[in-house]
Chain A
């Protein structure tokens, strides 16, 4: 059974803290993604990676960075957390080959910045 796991389901951090969100997939997928989900806005792509050490900005990269040192792991970093980064964060992965690019999602991390 395919699996994408995220390090925390719930996280509470203070303004200005550095925050790490971890995502691991066991499907040997090349591509990994970080989204944030907010009511009324749907899913917005923050960053994605199509290979180890490769990354590309999504639609809303400001205030975030990412790291992909191993194929199975993709980390999202909030350099200095702010209250407007309070959100649900979703990680996903997919293969490069094939025609449908179905993405597999983790359970999400609900981050609250106070």
Chain B
């Protein structure tokens, strides 16, 4: 079945550091890929998405590129802020299947 594997946390970085959170997927067909973010005490919000190979999703300074050859969708940000402290989830869905498969989440803490 489909699965998503993401970098285990927790991850702690200093403000303005470069961030990478790795995500790889296994799926039949061509899934859509997502990054969700969960701020403390809240539900999940969509951060960015990509629906086909080589697409780049971006939002709030975060980026992720859909790499079919490496089945990856790594999340990156050039300069993190304290307000980026949250849990980040990578997820995939296959066309025609409304269910999402989630990774286990990566807790990110940014220290001033």
Contact = CB atoms under 8 A, between A and B. Distances in A.
A106 B41 CA distance: 11
B103 to A, nearest CB: 6
A108 B42 contact: yes
A105 B104 contact: no
Interface residues of A, number: 25
Interface residues of B, number: 21
Interface in B29-60: 32, 34, 36, 42-46, 49, 51
A102 B34 contact: yes
Contact of A100 (B42, B45, B51, B104): B51
Contacts of A45: 99
Contacts of A58: 99
Contact of A106 (B32, B43, B95, B104): B43
Interface of A: 4, 31, 33, 40-43, 45, 48, 50, 58, 90, 92, 94, 96, 99-108
Given A45-B99, A105-B43, 15 more contacts: A41-B104, A42-B102, A42-B105, A43-B102, A99-B32, A99-B51, A100-B34, A100-B51, A101-B97, A102-B34, A102-B46, A103-B44, A103-B46, A103-B100, A106-B43
12 contacts: A42-B89, A42-B102, A42-B104, A43-B102, A100-B32, A101-B32, A101-B93, A101-B98, A102-B34, A103-B46, A104-B46, A105-B43
A-B complex: 5 closest residue pairs judged by Cβ atoms: A42-B104, A105-B43, A105-B44, A101-B93, A43-B102
